[in-house]
Chain A
Amino acid sequence: MSTDATKTTRRKHLKVLGGAAGASLGAAGFLRAVAPLVEWADDLDMDAFLQNHYRELDEDSLREVLARHEQSAKDEYGADVSIRDVRPEAGVSFGYALNLSICIGCRRCADACHKENNHDRATNQSYIRVFEMEAGAIDFSQGTASYDHAVPAPGKFYMPVQCQQCDNPPCVKVCPVEATWKEDDGIVVVDYDWCIGCRYCEAACPYHARRFNWTKPEIPADEVNGDQAYLSNRIRPQGVVEKCTFCLHRTREGRLPACLEACPTGARVFGNLLDPDSQLRWIIENKRVFVLKEELGTQPKFFYFFDE
């Protein structure tokens, strides 16, 4: 593994850089030059600064990283959390289907996402936006996500939109630091410790599925969901982009996503696209199914469908 080598190189590089700068600028100049780094170090330790990319972490380093994040959840939020590293499984490619004929727009899914994924309470953040649409067409310019009246309203239909887990994801292509990628089971993930917060991915996503943490998320200790994974619902730091992960901390262990369990109507269906006997495959093979913005060639793994 290149991990140790990379770490050593980066550390050495910083040291050498520091030494050289000190010699040429003089002590006072050097101190002034590194002042931002020193101030910055108050809320960022050297281990965090030198942490490697998720995919290049060996077992020991990963264990240290997870432990450090568990400790910081304790220190900053007063919450006891367990952060796991859950990997994709062979023979599994996740898909999601949503029945527009029976969705009533109650936003239970968005609310479940908010709680499950440790979203900021003040902004009522969620990976799901439910659009109230004019019946008869899929026209988002006539839709709104901020409706506030009893649902379903006459003449409307409801369309929840979240990450479509594209097979050809434009958000991944634009990331300048490879902090986001598609995993083998089709889930597009973010290494929140590698993201630099440039928001290119947010701009590239045609489904507006990515969110930026403008502030440090605020969550009361007793509301923190302690069942966490590194790539999914652990509390994200300020200044990084986050997205729906199909609740990989649940689904990679065979469970259903939180938004599905919260749906009172059964509009949501989740499963393995590679299993011909799955509920999901029955829908794809028997219902009128479409994907959102098919013409863009993003090849979503999220399918919408109608009853008769």
Chain B
Amino acid sequence: MAGLTTQESPSHRVHENIELLHGQLQCLACHDRDDRSQLHLADGTKLAAPQTMLLCGQCHGPQKRDYDHGSHGGMTGHWDGARGGQSRNHCVLCHNPHAPAIKPVTPMPGPVDARRASNEH
């Protein structure tokens, strides 16, 4: 990596916590060579940040298809488009693009046995 960053540069500190666990992908597969905060598609087209759907969808076709049909990714709002829209999560709201596998989470508390609960009162 010599030549890209040095120990002293601020950009090194920004990146030191990044753990890259995303198949064989390297930084420049998604980040622009000259302007790293800019993302690009495989054909070089530059991308505005909220369009990560297009970027991730280049490889993850089935997920992109499911997303487009409302069966992948959390949403809020309306089922009836005539009465209101939907707010959809895009890929990187849930998946860390550098390590996209979802980590285990602590579940909300489970059910309490009704009889036990009333005895405790």
| Chain A residues within CB distance 8 Å of chain B | 97, 99, 102, 104-108, 110-111, 122-126, 129-130, 145-148, 150-153, 212, 214-215, 251, 253-256, 260-261, 263-266, 269-272, 278-279, 282-283, 286-287, 305, 307-308
Contact = CB atoms under 8 A, between A and B. Distances in A.
A266 B73 contact: yes
A279 B69 contact: yes
Given A255-B84, A272-B79, A287 B104 contact: no
Closest 7 CB pairs between A and B?
A: A254-B83, A279-B70, A254-B80, A150-B104, A107-B108, A266-B73, A111-B108
A254 B108 CA distance: 28
B79 A264 contact: no
Contact of B71 (A107, A124, A279): A279
A271 B74 CA distance: 15
B74 A264 contact: yes
A270 B111 contact: no
Interface size bracket, B side: 35 or more
B85 to A, nearest CB: 11
A111 to B, nearest CB: 4
B15 interface: no
Contacts of A151: 104-107
Given A150-B104, A214-B118, A308 B79 contact: no
Q: Interface of chain B, helix or strand or loop or mixed? A: loop
Given A151-B104, A153-B104, A307-B66, A272 B80 contact: yes
A220 to B, nearest CB: 15
Contacts of A152: 104
Contacts of A255: 77-79, 83-84
B107 A107 contact: yes
Contacts of A129: 111
A126 B89 CA distance: 26
Contacts of B102: 104, 265
A208 to B, nearest CB: 11
B110 interface: yes
A255 B77 CA distance: 6
Contacts of A122: 112, 117-118, 120-121
